[in-house]
Structure 1
Amino acid sequence: MSNVEGLNKSFLNGESVERLNKSFINGKWEEGLSSRSYDIVNPYDKSVITSVKLATSKQVEEAFELAAEAQKSWAKTTVEERREVLQKAADYLKENHDEIVQILSRETGGTILKANVEHHLTMEFLEEAIKYADEVGTSREVPGGPEGKVNKIYRLPLGVIASISPFNFPMNLSMRTIAPAIALGNSVVHKPDIQVGLSGGVILAKAFEFAGLPKGVFNMILTDIEEIGDDMLTNPHSKLISFTGSTAVGRHIGEIAGRNLKRVALELGGNSPLVVLSDADVDQAVNAAVFGKFIHQGQICMIINRIIVHQDVYDEFVEKFVERAKALPYGDQTDPTTVIGPLVNERQMEKALNFIEQAKKDGVTVALEGKKVGNVLTPTVFTDVDPSSNLAQSELFAPIATIIKAQSDEIAIEIANNTEHGLSSAIFTKDLEKGEELALQVDAGMTHINDQTVNDAPNIPFGGNKSSGLGRFGNPWVVGEFTTTKWVSVQTKYRQFPF
């Protein structure tokens, strides 16, 4: 039996998940020192997966202190050393694929399809980071200055990265920060959403422990805001705060970071439009809209939040979309046939039901009425939605579709831009040249022609405009985000000064 196989059995059976319900600080599994505990549950049936003793502010402070010290040595490692660690972590995640997918599904409420997609994306971010681990420590020369001056531009690690990840895609949205940080010579203090502490934190810590990452370079804290407040944001050792989550929290982080002159990488809320133009292939647009609206029950920042359809194809689109949405299988997310699983918690369910009830009170047309089955909400479809209404302007984060009629292609683009957000977007048209021209008019970080809005890859500039965030992930853009540049000049000939 290989070491990886041994770790597979020792970590991912029920008993060891219970055992590894701890934070990972300075290379050790540490039980939280709080008097409070948190039960991580399966959103479908509320069964307890494990119970976590929460880490305290003192433990967070300790993690940052240790990370700052460990980073000094890690920054001096060779490219080969960093690549070896990242590759071993990737090997661990690959070898334990099946068990990890099961935990992802049980803990997040995501379907098996969604869990497989998330595992795949996690691997892609990790493997891409291996490629650019050589971007730090080397220099390039640029001309300029007096005779005899040699200008060298170095790219250096930032230091300690504070990482905060969300509940919806906890593994890959954590790795999207952790992998580049480590590859580029930084250390990390990471806090996953406690609801998904195993897939957002414990599994990743186990992978890096297996990979032999030096102690203190990666620290993972299982706790909540009630316990630690803003400690992840205010600690003086952190040089960058990487956060994926709501715009409201992102603004709070931005205020604190601004006061303390810290960098941020913020991927925030979305209100992504799918625009169906008059010449679109309606069947293909419906296929994309059903997937891009209902994957993971709509709980994705770049999910299709508004479907904007030209009046010439509106009725055909609505009829076909409703029929498809009505037939989606729902229930236990661990059943491979399930498409609509549970919302992550009762609070999200209550928010979704409130959106639905308010829209009904406002007189919005209901083309398909969903139903609450335990913590599962089946698809609801609203049509003839006013683009300026509360329903159209809110990030729904639920299997609720809003369809808006546009009188022209130009008006459709205006409606698409009528939002404070600007994360992802999509346009369906048979005229690809026109589609690309219109894509540049959409005020969003990403626009996909003849596809849906939920796309990600490790080598594209992922990020949003307006209230959807700051900064870009993806190679090579993330390299600039997670490093600092330094100018070193060498005067090789004596310089004459004017006085």
Structure 2
Amino acid sequence: MTDSQRTALIDHDVWNGGLFGGADGRWYAADQTRDVIEPATGERLTNIGVARAADVARAAKAAAAAQPAWAALAPRERAAVLRRAAAALERNLEDAARYIARETGGILAKAQLEVAEAATQLHIAAALPLQPQGLLLPSTAGRTSYARRVAHGVVGVISPFNFPLILSMRSVAPALAMGNAVVLKPDPQTPVSGGFLIARAFEEAGLPPGVLQVVPGDADAGAAVVEAPEVRMIAFTGSTAAGRKVGELAGRLLKKVSLELGGKNTLIVLEDADLDVAASNAAFGAFFHQGQICMATGRIVAHRKIAAELTRRLIDKAQTLPVGDPASGTVAIGPLINERQLRGVDAIVRASIEAGAVLEAGGTFERLFYKPTVLSNVQPGMRAFDEEIFGPVAVITPFDSDDEAVELANRTEYGLACAVIGASVARASAIGERLKCGLLHINGQTIADECVNPFGGRGDSGNGGSMGGPADPDEYTQWQWVTVKSTAERTPF
């Protein structure tokens, strides 16, 4: 395909009122449609099809029918499709990023990172089909024994609104690479960023018809993905409450399920830390993408000797970070995704102030724009200490000893990310080893993912599995044991 023959990935006319996939791998009209609204402006962005349970059931059947031929395709051919999809995203980076910024309310730099990282995820996944697919096992003479990885068949991917392209692609790409077909249900608030961009990239890449189905929808569509008998694995990213429902349903149906859920992540700042650096890390962890990240810094546990000064620096940052329309490219803080989210954030802030927390900055909003907020004197038992806020709120709690810092950090049912900042790497690492989390950063902050790392939490943050890097082959395949003899032999019976 020449450059003149390639089309832009962003094309409202292509997906208007539709879904993607079916038996022939095309766009088709949905019975139900919905407008997608830009959070920053309230304007209509586009119109999409909204999948119902029956649409999902048909999509799963079509994916199952297409999967065997895809799995049988030569590994190099599968890898080439993924590389071409990556190239399509790379060619469309700026247009795709601008659309993601408008659809998600995230700043333009965050959207550009999403597109670049999604392309990287495709390149990483493209290497998987060319890796060893099994192990030769010891056995008796005359018998060859080996274990090989085989595709699940159809993988259902349910993704959220906050980093929709990355959090869809991190499952779609390796699942396809390992020979699965995929039914992708993106959040209907971000259906283009989390689904249709992926469909368009794979269309241009020449993915065989039916192998990818994209069906944005509500909770009933998500349940239908889990319930479809053709779907043998579920990769879910979202809230802990929704994840429990997915896990319960998948467990009853004896399906493999990977749950990547919420977090109440702690950044510990020791008294010997560089406070400028610590404040920069704390502000980024608490405020980036309006705090709407599972890895967001939900608590800043600061040594009492430096807590007041760290608070002052965080107040300065909160009061100077520009808030506004992220598509303009000149702001640091955009809108929250919807009114319900904004009201939830504000309710936690108000309840914590009533319980004794001190409002140092922010705590106000206009439309969906919640001002960067700083709460000090936050104690266990306050909602801001205990609950995932998913908003731009820095929560500061003082401590007096390393043991107390560890106790405060571990006082949660979540277990996703933790970080420790201090001058002594040995001391910070010793503290880190005692923290109950799946992601640990020494002299960093809690928001980090590099595509090549296993990503997963524990407790209410997930079911103990990981996605990404070395974890992907085990997630998106299952082991099959095979033995071979040149001829059959009699048994003792």
Matched, 1:64 2:70: no
Asked whether the 8 Å contact 2:21–2:214 carries over to 1, the reply is: yes
SS in 2 for 1:330: coil
> Hey, what's the Cα distance between the residues in 2 that align with 1:69 and 1:472?
28
Matched, 1:29 2:24: no
For residue 475 of structure 1, the aligned residue among 469, 474, 477 is 469
SS in 1 for 2:327: coil
CA deviation string 1:124-175 (max 9, x = no partner): 2111101112247x4421113x433321111111110001000000001000
Partner of 2:170: 176
> Hey, what's the Cα distance between the residues in 2 that align with 1:164 and 1:4?
35
> Hey, what's the Cα distance between the residues in 2 that align with 1:181 and 1:155?
12
SS in 2 for 1:473: coil
| Distance change in 2, residues 1:298/1:4 (3 Å) | farther
Asked whether the 8 Å contact 1:124–1:457 carries over to 2, the reply is: no
Amino acid at match of 2:74: T
Asked whether the 8 Å contact 1:147–1:493 carries over to 2, the reply is: no
Asked whether the 8 Å contact 2:90–2:116 carries over to 1, the reply is: no
Asked whether the 8 Å contact 1:427–1:439 carries over to 2, the reply is: yes
Matched, 1:185 2:185: no
Amino acid at match of 1:118: E
Matches within 5 A, 1:392-471: 392-470=385-463, 471=465
SS in 2 for 1:7: coil
| Distance change in 2, residues 1:492/1:100 (3 Å) | same
Q: 1:181 Cα shift?
A: 0.5
Partner of 1:50: 46
Q: 1:360 Cα shift?
A: 2.1
Instruction: List alignment gaps of at least 5 residues for structure 2.
Output: none
Instruction: List alignment gaps of at least 5 residues for structure 1.
Output: none
Partner of 1:247: 240
For residue 343 of structure 1, the aligned residue among 336, 339, 348 is 336
Q: 1:46 Cα shift?
A: 0.5
Partner of 2:159: 165
SS in 2 for 1:467: helix
| Distance change in 2, residues 1:493/1:203 (3 Å) | closer
Amino acid at match of 2:447: V
Structure 1 residue ranges, 4+ long, deviating more than 4 angstroms after superposition: 492-499
Matched, 1:291 2:287: no
Total equivalences in the alignment: 489
Amino acid at match of 1:200: G
SS in 1 for 2:266: strand
Partner of 1:271: 264
Between stretches 202-211 and 320-329, larger displacement belongs to: 320-329
Asked whether the 8 Å contact 1:32–1:222 carries over to 2, the reply is: no
Asked whether the 8 Å contact 2:452–2:468 carries over to 1, the reply is: yes
Q: 1:5 Cα shift?
A: 6.9
> Hey, what's the Cα distance between the residues in 1 that align with 2:134 and 2:310?
55
- C-alpha RMSD of matched pairs (Å): 1.7
Partner of 1:381: 374
For residue 281 of structure 1, the aligned residue among 274, 277, 300 is 274
| Distance change in 2, residues 1:68/1:4 (3 Å) | farther
State the TM-score, normalized to the length of structure 1: 0.95
Amino acid at match of 1:439: G
Q: 1:498 Cα shift?
A: 5.2
- Percent identical among aligned pairs is 38
State the TM-score, normalized to the length of structure 2: 0.96
Asked whether the 8 Å contact 2:356–2:377 carries over to 1, the reply is: no
| Distance change in 2, residues 1:168/1:495 (3 Å) | same
Partner of 2:7: 7
Q: 1:489 Cα shift?
A: 1.4
CA deviation string 1:319-375 (max 9, x = no partner): 111111211011111121200110011111111111122122222111113321221
| Distance change in 2, residues 1:268/1:229 (3 Å) | closer
Amino acid at match of 1:177: S
Q: 1:458 Cα shift?
A: 1.7
